[in-house]
Structure 1
Amino acid sequence: MNVSWHKRQMRITRKCLSAHNIGGAVMKNYVITIERGFGSGGKTIGCEVAKRLGIPCYSDEIIQMASEESGLNPELFERLQQKNRNGSVSKNLATIEKAIIVSPGLSATEAIKDENLYNYQAKIIRRMAMKESCVILGYCANYILKTFPNVLAVNIQAPYHICHGEIMDRYVLDSDEAASLIAEKDIQRSSYYKYFTGKDWTNYKEYDVVMNSYRLGREKCVDQIIQLLRIKLGDKAEITDMKDMK
């Protein structure tokens, strides 16, 4: 990933930040971004945080929105998450060209480049951050929104043996199959993050907080995320915990 591409991303972010201020008043919405290890329970925790706060939680929906925005087949975005970073999105360009519905201003070849597919997703994430309060799972959202106000960046992990047991039970796999799937998913997530941000996915410095869901328990992770959100943002955002209303 070249430096000029990263500079373009920062310029886009600055423009979005200018748009974030409407008539001199900063919008009161907020975003919680969650990166997580496979089997750590991070998705469950993120969804519960969203439920408690009465806000949407986005994950795979980002692919569908990027597909609609770009006119590209959602499978292209799914492959972007899964591909070997040294490989190509597809060996069969003719097949890919047929998947393109509408892609204004870009040729079939240009539209499916990794950077352009990523840019579609980043555009969706920035738009959501300006539009509404939400939880976003994955997709380098903490990096994309790192200069946005009102963002809490979280990384959730768990000991390997806990993740291993979770994946065996969830997908009804034997020990070797679960180990293989965990390695595959975590490598995909790590390499995706590294490729598009130049950063280490597991580096605690990239986040406001890193949580061990095994030591804390999932319910306490939810409680702590909401508490940290309030501490970090104070009165800069409107935060309502449904638990407080019972």
Structure 2
Amino acid sequence: MEKQWIISISREYGTGGHKIAEKLAQIFDFPVYDRELLDNVFGDEANVEEWRECDEMPAPLAFSKKFSGTKNSSEYTLAKRQFNYLRKKANEGGSFVVVGRCSEYILKDYAGLIPIFILGDEDVKVKQVMESRNFTEKEAKAALARHNRLRKRYHNSYCEGKWGDSRCYDICINSSRLGFDGTVKFLEEYIRERMKQDQNNKN
């Protein structure tokens, strides 16, 4: 059986994290789990669309990972179902790329995990959001602040480590420096080196 590799991409909004994950998945011929997770988790359930607004949304402020909190909230229910699905896929032994969903923490016990955090310069992120969403500069800045605030709260609701803390990842990379293609190339080289070293250790 081939070695299992799980590439976990955490990202700030506006850094191209989803596109980078998709490109790495294409390069290594791995499935990618991001927005598609809802369809995978809920299957043929008729109400799947009702859950989309809860995807990667933080639990209510009353929730704490240390106490019982509001565990019947839609946000909590969806998060736990996604976490369980990711563990199930990891237990099956296949390799894949996953975007967000606290995956660097949820899957930390799997030897082939490669956790990556993608950040970016504010002006570059604003420009990216303006172009991709057809937003004004003011709208883009507001979207950046909102999405990153929610991602941070979501992550920190369920994880021991803090969102974006370099100690939680193999690599933290600023995609504004190398651009999309350069970032993909750099990460590809790192991942291939990890795979190479793992193979050498077996020989």
TM (norm. structure 1) is 0.69
- Residue 49 (structure 1) aligns with: 24
Structure 1, gaps ≥5 residues long: 1-25, 89-108, 238-246
- 2:121–2:176 Cα contact (<8 Å) kept: yes
1:155-170 correspondence runs (5 A):
155-170=117-132
Aligned Cα root-mean-square deviation (Å): 2.6
Partner of 1:172: 134
Question: Which consecutive residues of structure 2, in runs of 5 or more, have no partner in the other structure?
Answer: 64-69
Residues 169-178 or 67-76, more deviating:
67-76
Trace 1:67-78 onto structure 2 (pairs within 5 A).
Answer: 67-68=42-43, 73-76=48-51, 78=53
Partners of 1:34 and 1:87 in 2: CA distance: 28
Q: Aligned residue for 2:6?
A: 31
Number of the residue aligned with 2:60:
85
- TM-aligned CA distance change 1:110 to 1:206, over 3 Å: closer
Closer, same or farther in 2 for the Cα pair 1:210/1:70, shift >3 Å?
farther
Q: Describe the superposition over 1:100-141 as per-residue Cα deviations: whole angstroms up to 9, x where unpaired.
A: xxxxxxxxx966465443221111111222332111011011
**TM-score of the two chains, using structure 2 as the length reference:** 0.83
CA contact 2:54–2:78 (8 Å) conserved in 1? no
Match of 2:150 in 1: 188
Residue aligned with 1:191, SS: helix
Residues 1:58 and 2:52 are matched in the alignment: no
Which amino acid is 1:143 matched to?
Y
What's 2:67 paired with?
none
Q: Can you list the C-alpha shifts for 1:32-66, whole angstroms capped at 9, x where unaligned?
A: 00001111111111111111111211101112222
Any conservation in 2 of the 1:46–1:137 contact (CA below 8 Å)?
Answer: yes
Q: Is the 8 A contact 1:63 1:78 kept in 2?
A: no
Question: Greater helix percent: which structure?
Answer: 1
CA separation of 1:122 and 1:190: change in aligned 2, threshold 3 A: same
Partners in 2 of 1:67 and 1:83 — Cα distance? 20
> Would you say the 8 A contact 1:85–1:191 is kept in 2?
no
* 1:45 and 1:218 in contact (8 A); partners too: yes
3-state DSSP of counterpart to 2:118: strand
User: Percent of pairs identical after alignment?
Assistant: 23
CA drift of 1:199 comes to 2.7
Query: Aligned in 2, Cα 1:202/1:235: closer, same or farther, shift over 3 Å?
Result: closer
Q: Does 1:117 align with 2:92?
A: no
Bigger mean CA deviation after superposition, 205-214 or 73-82 = 73-82
Cα distance change on mapping 1:212 and 1:62 into 2, 3 Å: same
Is the contact between residue 58 and residue 75 of structure 2 (CA under 8 Å) also seen in structure 1? no
Q: Distance in 1 between matches of 2:46 and 2:80?
A: 14
Q: CA deviation at 1:221?
A: 1.6
Q: Using the alignment, how far apart are the partners of 1:170 and 1:113 within structure 2?
A: 29
CA distance 1:199–1:77, change in 2 (3 Å)? farther
Preserved contact between residue 58 and residue 137 of structure 1 (Cα < 8 Å): yes
AA aligned to 2:30 is I
Report if aligned partners of 1:77, 1:117 keep a CA contact under 8 Å in 2: no
